[in-house]
A and B are shown apart, each in its own frame.
Chain A
């Protein structure tokens, strides 16, 4: 299929206002990041020594998920033979690279010493899941960039090879990220199921995000987008929602069933703010409502309904990331199994966490950097197809 890609014009007033707003947001985020580094994380965030990983790690994990999701979509035409999705592959791959950079930014700006960013490359600990992931992420960026170059130079053979490598790498990146949490001796983390469920949530959120990005970019640039393509993606999204739901059910049933982890399961399911995030955010808004929308024939053909479902899935997976990262830390470690801890000098009392405003600003700043790079990419590179249309009866010539 021959696709014509052109850059967006980017001369309108709205375009420059958008860029300006993004730059302002990014600067605010970076200022707060500097303050956190300079004065100590405790002054600006809700973190404590008992909940050391907070909102920026939630965002990092979320970005990694979106990245792998959009990469898989980008490879739909090259790897899975869905030629009709070729028009989106450039944009999706570009987003995938951007998002993984966003994830790395979120992680590194969250360090106590971002000034020592070179250390993980000098002192590599092969036993650390973090180091293994540092390797995966950086090589993933490299693979993504080569994949993009291949697409922009229309090197079909290389595109195909790189698409395969990239999909395999995305699985590695994801399993690795799941393993950061899953391979740690804490009751709500330790699980061999985390790596695969990470991939499921990644693909689900990635698909939902791509639907939204496609609808928004095509609408904003007044280009033609065939609704059937969006509907096709929404069918995929429905399948992914159920896969994610399946993993959640298996994991929580196991935890609640086995006596060893039952109290942890009860804490997870009915133990405070994170339980609301779980039930309301992930299960109700993030899974059940979009599944219903995409299942009922009346709604599933309407683009508005599909975009609402996508927004819900994107939010739902963010909630999923939150309940992976936070409750695992706030759940008290049961150090003395047959004793009751009646009091403790401070430590055990403070295992609570709430997102602080500066953390949100920092996350917004990083999101703004990504959005800026994305819009700039659309402006500079020939990324967006001038129209995305499904051919009714494709002939050999057209293919």
Chain B
């Protein structure tokens, strides 16, 4: 066997390596500091910065209006909550299998205080609608390999469904379990003013951006009879949400996001939990 280093071969291969390294490092060259900073908040005073305030003290037990309205508005398949809840009461294990792939962009959680100084509050249940928090530093957008999930200039975190590859890393990264994946490929199209959903991509609440762009409020906010939701521009001191937050803080009532300790900066605030 030829033991000498074949000069021509060596040059050929070294050339290959150089070319290969160059090609594979193109993404890193093209990446600039601004690309990385883009992931962090671009909150500035002049822009709209949508936020939501949920007053769970007003939310009622057997009401599922927001959940069902969200389904219809965004063409999300799934069973409507009334019958579903009846089924769950009847047979839990069977219903678990039946509704395994239901998608709830907004869901309702029943909570009970674990400990409280106030004895009257001890056994009181509260009902909290939980949805995408549209975080200031969204970890779903941070991990998306194709930048399909991104934060709009107004702070809404949305998915570009034509770019998403369906790797589901964002579902893993979201600490709030607020993101979903269309596992079943059923595509209903009840509301023609919002595009039909696409199979095999990630999705989540998008604050009904299609309605916001038309100057309307998100559907869940609109349908709530109890006015649990307050929606508005956090940067505008005259918006309804800013006024309400100011009022509450004057009365020393705590307004907080879910698990703010995670550093995600949720923009859906809660009163009463």
Contact = CB atoms under 8 A, between A and B. Distances in A.
Given A40-B183, A53-B172, A335-B130, A153 B112 contact: no
A138 B145 CA distance: 15
Contact of B13 (A131, A138, A150, A333): A150
A296 interface: no
A112 B199 contact: yes
B210 interface: no
B143 A126 contact: no
Interface stretch (B45-53, B159-167, B222-230, B232-240): B159-167
Contacts of B264: 185
A218 B107 CA distance: 59
Contact of B163 (A123, A333, A340): A123
B206 interface: no
Interface in A333-378: 333-350
Interface string A160-204: 001000000000000000001000111001000000000000000
A117 B200 CA distance: 13
Contact of A130 (B104, B139, B143, B163): B143
B248 interface: no
Contacts of A127: 35-36, 39, 142-143
A120 B165 contact: yes
Contact of B177 (A154, A184, A347): A347
Contacts of A328: 172
Contacts of B148: 119, 123
B21 A139 contact: yes
B253 to A, nearest CB: 17
Contacts of B177: 50, 333, 335, 347-348
A174 B10 CA distance: 29
B183 A41 contact: yes
Contact of B145 (A131, A149, A184): A131
B3 A154 contact: yes
Contacts of A289: none
B185 interface: yes
Contacts of B59: none
A344 B168 contact: no
A128 B146 CA distance: 9
A328 B171 CA distance: 12
A43 B182 CA distance: 11
Nearest to A339: B111
Given A49-B179, A127-B35, A345-B85, 16 more contacts: A41-B181, A52-B181, A111-B200, A112-B201, A119-B163, A125-B144, A126-B31, A126-B36, A142-B24, A143-B20, A146-B20, A150-B13, A156-B3, A184-B172, A186-B175, A338-B113
